[in-house]
Amino acid sequence: MQNNDRSAATNFPDWHGTTILAVRKDGKTVIAGDGQVSMGATVVKGSAKKVRRLAGGKVIAGFAGATADAFTLLERLESKLEQYPDQLARACVDLAKDWRTDRYLRRLEAMLLVADKDNIYTVTGVGDVLEPDLGVAAIGSGGSYALAAARALLDGDLDAEALARKAMGIAADICVYTNGSLTVETL
Protein backbone atom coordinates (compact mmCIF):
# COMPACT_ATOMS: atom_id res chain seq x y z
CA MET A 1 0.00 0.00 0.00
CA GLN A 2 1.41 3.38 -1.00
CA ASN A 3 0.29 6.75 0.23
CA ASN A 4 0.34 9.41 -2.49
CA ASP A 5 -1.05 12.23 -0.29
CA ARG A 6 1.88 14.66 0.21
CA SER A 7 0.07 16.28 3.14
CA ALA A 8 0.00 13.06 5.16
CA ALA A 9 2.17 13.10 8.27
CA THR A 10 3.79 9.78 7.39
CA ASN A 11 4.55 9.76 3.70
CA PHE A 12 7.42 7.28 3.97
CA PRO A 13 7.36 3.49 3.86
CA ASP A 14 7.66 1.68 7.16
CA TRP A 15 11.31 2.79 7.49
CA HIS A 16 12.29 4.59 10.65
CA GLY A 17 15.46 5.39 12.44
CA THR A 18 16.83 8.84 11.93
CA THR A 19 17.49 11.57 14.40
CA ILE A 20 19.37 14.64 13.18
CA LEU A 21 20.06 17.55 15.52
CA ALA A 22 21.65 20.94 14.82
CA VAL A 23 22.89 23.20 17.62
CA ARG A 24 24.38 26.67 17.38
CA LYS A 25 25.94 27.96 20.59
CA ASP A 26 28.79 30.35 21.44
CA GLY A 27 29.91 30.73 17.83
CA LYS A 28 30.00 26.99 17.09
CA THR A 29 27.57 25.04 14.94
CA VAL A 30 27.16 21.27 15.25
CA ILE A 31 25.05 18.75 13.40
CA ALA A 32 24.77 15.29 14.93
CA GLY A 33 23.03 12.27 13.45
CA ASP A 34 22.47 8.81 14.80
CA GLY A 35 23.32 5.71 12.80
CA GLN A 36 20.21 3.57 13.11
CA VAL A 37 18.07 2.53 10.17
CA SER A 38 15.07 0.34 10.96
CA MET A 39 12.37 -1.32 8.94
CA GLY A 40 9.39 -1.95 11.14
CA ALA A 41 10.65 -3.45 14.39
CA THR A 42 13.93 -4.62 12.83
CA VAL A 43 17.20 -2.70 12.97
CA VAL A 44 18.62 -2.96 9.45
CA LYS A 45 21.81 -1.00 10.09
CA GLY A 46 23.28 0.64 13.16
CA SER A 47 26.10 2.70 11.72
CA ALA A 48 24.66 4.69 8.81
CA LYS A 49 26.27 8.09 8.20
CA LYS A 50 23.52 10.66 7.75
CA VAL A 51 25.61 13.80 8.22
CA ARG A 52 27.89 15.16 5.48
CA ARG A 53 30.16 18.12 4.81
CA LEU A 54 29.48 20.14 1.64
CA ALA A 55 30.93 23.20 -0.09
CA GLY A 56 34.53 22.38 0.71
CA GLY A 57 33.69 21.79 4.37
CA LYS A 58 31.91 25.15 4.90
CA VAL A 59 28.44 23.59 5.15
CA ILE A 60 27.14 20.59 7.09
CA ALA A 61 23.99 18.74 6.07
CA GLY A 62 22.06 15.94 7.75
CA PHE A 63 19.18 14.05 6.23
CA ALA A 64 16.13 12.06 7.23
CA GLY A 65 14.09 9.92 4.89
CA ALA A 66 14.87 7.77 1.90
CA THR A 67 18.65 7.62 1.45
CA ALA A 68 18.72 7.74 -2.36
CA ASP A 69 16.31 10.69 -2.28
CA ALA A 70 18.44 12.46 0.32
CA PHE A 71 21.61 11.95 -1.75
CA THR A 72 19.84 13.42 -4.77
CA LEU A 73 18.90 16.47 -2.69
CA LEU A 74 22.41 16.80 -1.26
CA GLU A 75 23.84 16.77 -4.80
CA ARG A 76 21.35 19.46 -5.84
CA LEU A 77 22.21 21.50 -2.76
CA GLU A 78 25.92 21.16 -3.53
CA SER A 79 25.32 22.55 -7.03
CA LYS A 80 23.27 25.42 -5.60
CA LEU A 81 26.12 26.20 -3.19
CA GLU A 82 28.50 26.30 -6.17
CA GLN A 83 26.10 28.64 -7.94
CA TYR A 84 25.70 30.85 -4.82
CA PRO A 85 28.98 30.57 -2.87
CA ASP A 86 28.74 31.62 0.79
CA GLN A 87 24.99 32.21 0.42
CA LEU A 88 23.47 29.25 2.25
CA ALA A 89 20.02 30.82 2.63
CA ARG A 90 19.77 31.57 -1.09
CA ALA A 91 20.98 28.07 -2.01
CA CYS A 92 18.42 26.49 0.36
CA VAL A 93 15.54 28.63 -0.93
CA ASP A 94 16.48 27.85 -4.53
CA LEU A 95 16.64 24.13 -3.71
CA ALA A 96 13.24 24.29 -1.97
CA LYS A 97 11.72 26.03 -5.01
CA ASP A 98 13.11 23.39 -7.36
CA TRP A 99 12.05 20.61 -5.00
CA ARG A 100 8.49 21.89 -4.90
CA THR A 101 8.08 22.62 -8.61
CA ASP A 102 10.13 19.93 -10.39
CA ARG A 103 8.07 16.80 -11.19
CA TYR A 104 10.93 14.45 -10.38
CA LEU A 105 12.13 16.20 -7.22
CA ARG A 106 8.59 16.62 -5.93
CA ARG A 107 8.38 12.85 -5.36
CA LEU A 108 11.51 12.70 -3.19
CA GLU A 109 10.83 11.67 0.39
CA ALA A 110 13.46 13.23 2.62
CA MET A 111 14.19 16.29 4.75
CA LEU A 112 17.43 18.19 5.18
CA LEU A 113 18.96 19.98 8.13
CA VAL A 114 21.64 22.32 6.77
CA ALA A 115 24.05 24.67 8.55
CA ASP A 116 27.03 26.91 8.01
CA LYS A 117 29.01 28.75 10.68
CA ASP A 118 26.23 31.33 11.13
CA ASN A 119 22.92 29.71 10.19
CA ILE A 120 20.79 26.58 10.53
CA TYR A 121 17.95 25.72 8.14
CA THR A 122 15.41 22.93 7.88
CA VAL A 123 14.57 22.35 4.21
CA THR A 124 11.47 20.37 3.21
CA GLY A 125 9.84 19.20 0.01
CA VAL A 126 6.79 21.38 0.54
CA GLY A 127 8.87 24.52 0.06
CA ASP A 128 9.82 25.28 3.65
CA VAL A 129 13.17 26.78 4.57
CA LEU A 130 12.90 27.24 8.33
CA GLU A 131 15.44 28.93 10.58
CA PRO A 132 15.04 28.07 14.27
CA ASP A 133 14.52 30.83 16.83
CA LEU A 134 16.89 29.48 19.47
CA GLY A 135 19.66 28.01 17.32
CA VAL A 136 18.42 24.44 17.74
CA ALA A 137 16.61 22.32 15.12
CA ALA A 138 15.94 18.62 14.66
CA ILE A 139 14.36 16.25 12.15
CA GLY A 140 13.58 12.55 11.94
CA SER A 141 11.86 9.94 14.07
CA GLY A 142 13.58 11.05 17.28
CA GLY A 143 13.82 14.70 16.28
CA SER A 144 11.28 16.00 18.78
CA TYR A 145 13.05 14.19 21.65
CA ALA A 146 16.47 15.54 20.63
CA LEU A 147 15.04 19.03 20.13
CA ALA A 148 13.39 19.08 23.56
CA ALA A 149 16.55 17.79 25.25
CA ALA A 150 18.77 20.30 23.45
CA ARG A 151 16.50 23.22 24.30
CA ALA A 152 16.46 22.16 27.95
CA LEU A 153 20.27 21.99 27.99
CA LEU A 154 20.84 25.22 26.04
CA ASP A 155 21.26 27.48 29.09
CA GLY A 156 23.76 25.16 30.78
CA ASP A 157 27.55 25.08 30.66
CA LEU A 158 27.91 22.52 27.86
CA ASP A 159 29.51 23.66 24.61
CA ALA A 160 27.66 23.06 21.32
CA GLU A 161 29.17 19.64 20.62
CA ALA A 162 28.76 18.32 24.17
CA LEU A 163 25.19 19.62 24.21
CA ALA A 164 24.39 17.89 20.89
CA ARG A 165 25.92 14.61 22.09
CA LYS A 166 24.01 14.75 25.39
CA ALA A 167 20.70 15.60 23.67
CA MET A 168 21.20 12.79 21.14
CA GLY A 169 21.91 10.39 24.01
CA ILE A 170 18.66 11.40 25.66
CA ALA A 171 16.78 10.91 22.38
CA ALA A 172 18.39 7.47 21.96
CA ASP A 173 17.23 6.51 25.46
CA ILE A 174 13.64 7.44 24.59
CA CYS A 175 13.18 6.72 20.87
CA VAL A 176 13.45 3.08 19.76
CA TYR A 177 14.36 4.29 16.26
CA THR A 178 17.45 6.19 17.46
CA ASN A 179 20.79 4.77 18.60
CA GLY A 180 23.96 6.12 20.16
CA SER A 181 26.20 5.56 17.12
CA LEU A 182 26.70 9.23 16.23
CA THR A 183 28.21 11.15 13.37
CA VAL A 184 29.05 14.65 14.60
CA GLU A 185 30.35 17.50 12.45
CA THR A 186 31.30 20.91 13.84
CA LEU A 187 31.93 24.33 12.29
Catalytically annotated residues: 18
User: How many whole angstroms separate alpha carbon 142 and alpha carbon 16?
Assistant: 9
Distances (CA, A) of 84 to 44, 95, 151: 37, 11, 31
Q: What is the 3-state secondary structure (H, E, C) of the chain?
A: CCCCCCCCCCCCCCEECCEEEEEEECCEEEEEEECCEEECCEEEECCCCCEEEEHHHCEEEEEEECHHHHHHHHHHHHHHHHHCCCCHHHHHHHHHHHHHHCCCHHHCCEEEEEECCCCEEEECCCCCEECCCCCEEEEECCHHHHHHHHHHHCCCCCCHHHHHHHHHHHHHHHCCCCCCCEEEEEC
User: How many whole angstroms separate alpha carbon 20 and alpha carbon 171?
Assistant: 10
